[in-house]
Structure 1
Amino acid sequence: MEHHLPQHTFGTAPSWDNTFFEEAHQQAPPVSIRLNPLKETQSFDSLARVPWCTRGRYLESRPVFTLDPLFHAGAYYVQEASSMFVAQAFEQHVKKQQALKVLDLCAAPGGKSTLLASLLEQDDLLISNEVIQTRASILVENMTRWGQMNTWVTNNDPKDFGRVAGFFDAILVDAPCSGSGLWRKDPKAIDEWSTENVQLCKERQQRILADVLPALKKEGILIYATCSYSVEENEQIVDWLIRDMGMESLPMQCDPDWGITETLSPEQKGLGYRFYPWKTRGEGFFLAVFKKQEGIVTDSLYHSVSKQKNNQKAELELHQKMRPYLNTDFEIFTHKELIYAINPVHMPYLEPMRNAFYIKKAGTAMGQILKDLVPEHDLAMSVHLSDAVSRIELSHEEALHYLKKESVKTADGYKGWQVATHQGLALGWGKWMPNRMNNYLPKHYRIRMDIP
C-alpha cells in the first residue's frame, strides 16, 4: 500500500521545509542501540557513536535482534537515536544532593526508563509507570533484562500520582502523541494522522501533565517529550506549562554539530528542542525541560510507615539463605510466596507505595523456597548476581537453542542450578541432572521464530 505524506501539514513549525521533509522520508531510517553500562561487552566497540548520548551507537544495518543473545541478555536496548537526547536533559538539569526519586510516567516499552536507569546510582529510585496493563507487562520484561534493583514498575493512571505530592525530584513525560515524527519508521501511521487527532493529543497531554505535576517537588525537574512535529503538541504545550502551570523553561546546551534546532514558543516564553531527520541522524523528536516554581518539598512517604518486624529470627534466617546470591546490600520481603530483594534505602517506601499504587515489579525477585531456592529469572538477569553463583557459558548456537527453551549442553560434569551465559552475560536459569537439562527460561521470554 502506498502512503502519501500530508501536504503543508507543519508549515507553522519552526525551521520547517517541506522539500527536505519529503526527501528525508524517502531514505531508510538509521538504526541505533544504547549499551547497558552495567553489562559490558566489547562487541560494539567499533560502532559509530550517537553524539548526544555516551552509550548510544549506530548500526550499519538492521539485524534480526531476536536472534542476538546479547539482546536477550540486556547488553543493549534498541532505541531511536533522537530519543536518547533525554540523557542530556537529565544530566544537565537534575542535580543530585541526596538519593534521587525519579518517575517515568508513560514508560512502556522501556527505552527511556532503561536510559534513566543507566544514569542513576544504586540508592536512587526509578518508578517506571504504564497505564495500559499489557504494555506494563512488556515494560517489566525490559526492565528485568536491564537488571537493576532500584527500578520499580507500576501500572497506574497519571492522576493516581497525586497521592504522593512533592515526592519526585524529576519526572519524565514522554507523552502519547500523534506520532508524525516516526512516519519514516512506521509509514502506516501516516494514514491514521489527522488535525483532529493532533488536537485530541494536545488535550490529553495537558490532562496527563496537570494530573502528575503535583507529584513533582518544588524546584523539581520536568522533562517533556513527544515524537510529533505539531506545534500544538510541542511549543504550545511549553507556553501552557509556563502560563497556567507555573513552570519555568530551562535552556539546554547543545553542540552545533549535533544539528538540533532550538525553538521559541509562540508566546516567546519558553524553549524547545527539535530533531529533524534532514538535520540530525535520527527521527522526528521534541523535548523541553522545566523547573517547578511552586509546590511542596516533602519526604512524608518515607516517614509515614516504619518497617514492621513480625518475625525477626525467621527473616534473618531467610536473609542468610539469600545472601550468597547477590553481591550488594539488600533487605528482603515476601509477596505471594516469592522472596524479593530490595535496597535497604528503599524499604521504607515499599508499604506506602503498595497502598498508593499497583506495583508490578519492585526490587529483584529472588525465587521461592521449596526444599531449596527455586530461583526467578529476575535474579539471573540482575547486575548484582554474585560471582559465587554457578554459570555455564554457551556458544552462539547453544544460546539460541536455550532461548528457544530447548535443552542444551547435557555433558557430564554439570549439576544442579546454573545460570546459562553468553559472552559472560546471563540469559536465564537451567537445572542440570545426569544426561538431561531442564530449561527454566520463562515461556514469554522465549524465541518463537525459527533459527536459521
Structure 2
Amino acid sequence: MANDINFPQSFISSLQQAPGFNEETFVHTHQEAKAPTSVRINPKKKLAFEHAQPVPWCTDAFYLDTRPSFTFDPLFHAGCYYVQEASSMFIDHILRHVYNTEDGAAKVLDLCAAPGGKSTVISSVISSADLLVSNEIIKTRVPVLTDNLNRWGASNVVVTNNDPKAFAKLKGFFDLIVVDAPCSGSGMFRKDPSAMDEWSADNVNLCQQRQERILADVYPALAEDGYLIYSTCSYSYEEDEAVLDWLCDEFELESVRIPVQAEWGIVESQSAGHKAWGYRFYPDKVKGEGLFAACLIKRENTGQLPVYRNKNQPKPNYKEIDLLKPYINQPSGQYFFKLNDDWLAIARPLRESMEILQQYLYIKKSGVRLGKLAGKELIPDHELALSLMINKDAFLQTELTHEQAIAYLRKDNMDNLGITGKGWSLMTYQGYALGWAKLLPNRINNYYPKEIRILTSEPRDKNQESR
C-alpha cells in the first residue's frame, strides 16, 4: 500500500550533496515501503520471538513480520521487551565497540533520554557495577522515561530532569556521554509525514545551533579519554557531519571509526574538515528509518570534581533496614536510604556517585523504590515489583491468564476473577511480574499505578515506537 508522502522540493534539493543520498530510491521507499516493526529483548527478562529476523547491528533485537497490539501484551508491560525503531539501536553496536568492562566502574550519561529507548540499550550493555544517568530536559517527558526504565528493571539507574548546562558543574564525572540531540526530524518522515510541515532550511540551522549549545554545555562533564556518542534523526549535513567538524574545531576531540559490515547497508561518511567518521541510515538502504550517529573521544582534561566528603551522613536505621533485606536479592551489596517515608536501595558502590549527583541535579529516580514500612510490614512499591532486585520468593505470587492480566493492567475490579489468597501478592503473567495486589477475604485491591494503566477498551496499539 502506497504512503501519501510528497516531499517539499527544497528538502530534496538540500540533500543532493548528502553522503549516500539517492533521490530516486529514497523517494520510492518512502512512498511504497511500509516502515518495519522492531523490538529489543530485555536480556535480564529473557523472551523469545519465534521466527523473527535479527536486527544485524544490535544484540537481542528483532524485526516482526506483523505489528501486534503491544498495548494488549502483558509481557510488554512486564518489561520483557522494548518497541524501538531499528536504526536507533545502532548505539548498541557503538557501545560494544568502545565500552570495556575491565576498565572498572563506568559512569554513563544519556543526556536527552526520553522516552527511554537508548537508555534501555545502554542499560543492557553496561554492567551492574556501572552507573547510568538518564536525563530528560523537558519535564513533561520525564514520567514516560521513568516508567520505561522501571519496566526494564535495572537498579543502577538515576533519572534526572535538568538543562544540559547543569551538567557543566560535574567536571570530568562521566566516562561516556550519549547525546541524541533534538533535530529537524527528517529521518522520521516515513513514520510521521506531518513532520514535513515543520521542515525548513531555517529550522535546520536553528537545530544546528541548539545542538552545538547542548554539546558545549555538557562537554566539561566528560572525562579525559571519555567517549561522546552523538546522534540525530536528521539527514541534513548541517546537523550531522558539520556538527562533527564544529566539535573538532572547538574541543580536543578525535573521531572514532566504528566497524560496520557492508551488507548492513549503513553509509559510512566523513566530515569535510576533520574527516570525522559518521554513520548514515537511509530507509532505501537499511531496514529502518533515518539516523546519523558518530563517536568521538576526548583528549584533554577540562577539570575534575573535588574529592567528595559526606559531612552530614545520617545514621542508618538498622532496625528498619533489617526488615527490608528479605525482600531483595543480595541485600549485603545494597545501600538502603530513605526519602520521606519511602525506602530505596541502590548498589553500595554507587552510593557516592548518587550523593554527588544530588548536590548538582534535580533527581526524579534513584535506584529502586522499595516501598513504605508500616510497622513490620512492607507496603511494596511498583518499582520493586518490576525490578531485577526483587526476591520473588519473599512474596505470594498470583499467576494470571491473559484475560485476567489485561483486567489487572486496566486497573479493573478483580473481585470476580476467582483469585484466592491473603496479603500482598505479586501479580504475574507467564512468570513475569506486572505489579501488586492486596488479596483480602472478600475482595482484591488492585494496586497497579493509575498513571500507566491501559485506557483503551479494544486491542489497538497506542504505544509509541521510540528511538
Q: What interval of TM-score do these two structures reach, taking the shorter chain for normalisation?
A: over 0.9
Q: For 1:253, give the aligned amino acid.
A: P
Deviation at 1:204, TM superposition (A): 0.2
Separation in 2, partners of 1:224, 1:204: 13
Of residues 341, 344, 364, the one that matches 1:340 is: 344
Aligned residue in 2 for 1:89: 94
Please say if residues 32 and 81 of structure 1, whose CA atoms lie closer than 8 Å, have aligned partners that are also in contact: yes
Residues 375, 354 of structure 1: CA spacing in aligned structure 2 closer, same or farther, 3 A cutoff?
Answer: same
Please say if residues 224 and 289 of structure 1, whose CA atoms lie closer than 8 Å, have aligned partners that are also in contact: yes
1:169 aligns with 2:171: no
Of residues 396, 407, 410, the one that matches 2:402 is: 396
Aligned residue in 2 for 1:73: 78
1:20 aligns with 2:25: yes
Q: For 2:327, give the aligned amino acid.
A: Y
Q: For 1:99, give the aligned amino acid.
A: A
1:387 aligns with 2:392: yes
Please say if residues 5 and 30 of structure 2, whose CA atoms lie closer than 8 Å, have aligned partners that are also in contact: no
Separation in 1, partners of 2:125, 2:256: 20
1:421 aligns with 2:421: no
1:355 aligns with 2:355: no
1:50 aligns with 2:52: no
Q: For 2:96, give the aligned amino acid.
A: E
Please say if residues 69 and 396 of structure 1, whose CA atoms lie closer than 8 Å, have aligned partners that are also in contact: yes
Aligned residue in 2 for 1:326: 328
Alignment of 1:34-433 (within 5 A): 34-42=40-48, 44-96=49-101, 97-296=103-302, 298=304, 300=306, 303-306=307-310, 308-312=312-316, 315-328=317-330, 329-371=333-375, 372-388=377-393, 389-408=395-414, 411=418, 413-433=420-440
Separation in 1, partners of 2:263, 2:349: 41
Deviation at 1:347, TM superposition (A): 1.1
Separation in 1, partners of 2:131, 2:124: 12
Residues 308, 392 of structure 1: CA spacing in aligned structure 2 closer, same or farther, 3 A cutoff?
Answer: farther
Please say if residues 107 and 174 of structure 2, whose CA atoms lie closer than 8 Å, have aligned partners that are also in contact: yes
Q: CA RMSD in A?
A: 1.6
Separation in 2, partners of 1:348, 1:305: 9
Separation in 2, partners of 1:13, 1:186: 22
1:29 aligns with 2:35: yes
Q: 1:92-145 deviations in whole A, cap 9, x for unaligned?
A: 012231101000000000000000001111110000000110101111111111
Q: For 1:414, give the aligned amino acid.
A: G
Q: Percent identity?
A: 46
Please say if residues 410 and 435 of structure 1, whose CA atoms lie closer than 8 Å, have aligned partners that are also in contact: no
Structure 1, unaligned runs of 5 or more: none
SS in 1 for 2:190: coil
Separation in 2, partners of 1:156, 1:283: 29
Report the TM-score, using the length of structure 1 for normalisation.
0.96
Q: 1:165-222 deviations in whole A, cap 9, x for unaligned?
A: 0000000000000000000010110111111000000000000000001000001000
Please say if residues 259 and 280 of structure 1, whose CA atoms lie closer than 8 Å, have aligned partners that are also in contact: yes
Please say if residues 437 and 448 of structure 2, whose CA atoms lie closer than 8 Å, have aligned partners that are also in contact: yes
1:9 aligns with 2:11: no
| Greater Cα offset, 236-245 or 346-355 | 346-355
| Greater Cα offset, 330-339 or 158-167 | 330-339
Please say if residues 417 and 430 of structure 1, whose CA atoms lie closer than 8 Å, have aligned partners that are also in contact: yes
Residues 412, 110 of structure 1: CA spacing in aligned structure 2 closer, same or farther, 3 A cutoff?
Answer: closer
Please say if residues 275 and 286 of structure 1, whose CA atoms lie closer than 8 Å, have aligned partners that are also in contact: yes
Please say if residues 3 and 188 of structure 1, whose CA atoms lie closer than 8 Å, have aligned partners that are also in contact: no
Q: 1:342-366 deviations in whole A, cap 9, x for unaligned?
A: 1101112233211200000001001
Separation in 1, partners of 2:418, 2:7: 58
SS in 2 for 1:392: strand
Please say if residues 405 and 441 of structure 1, whose CA atoms lie closer than 8 Å, have aligned partners that are also in contact: yes
The size of the alignment, in residue pairs, is 447
SS in 2 for 1:106: coil
Please say if residues 368 and 374 of structure 1, whose CA atoms lie closer than 8 Å, have aligned partners that are also in contact: yes
Q: For 2:232, give the aligned amino acid.
A: T
SS in 1 for 2:275: coil
Deviation at 1:316, TM superposition (A): 1.3
Q: For 2:164, give the aligned amino acid.
A: P
Structure 2, unaligned runs of 5 or more: 460-467
Separation in 2, partners of 1:288, 1:353: 27
Q: 1:12-47 deviations in whole A, cap 9, x for unaligned?
A: 2011111111111011100101110011123x1421
Separation in 2, partners of 1:308, 1:397: 51
Separation in 1, partners of 2:233, 2:21: 15
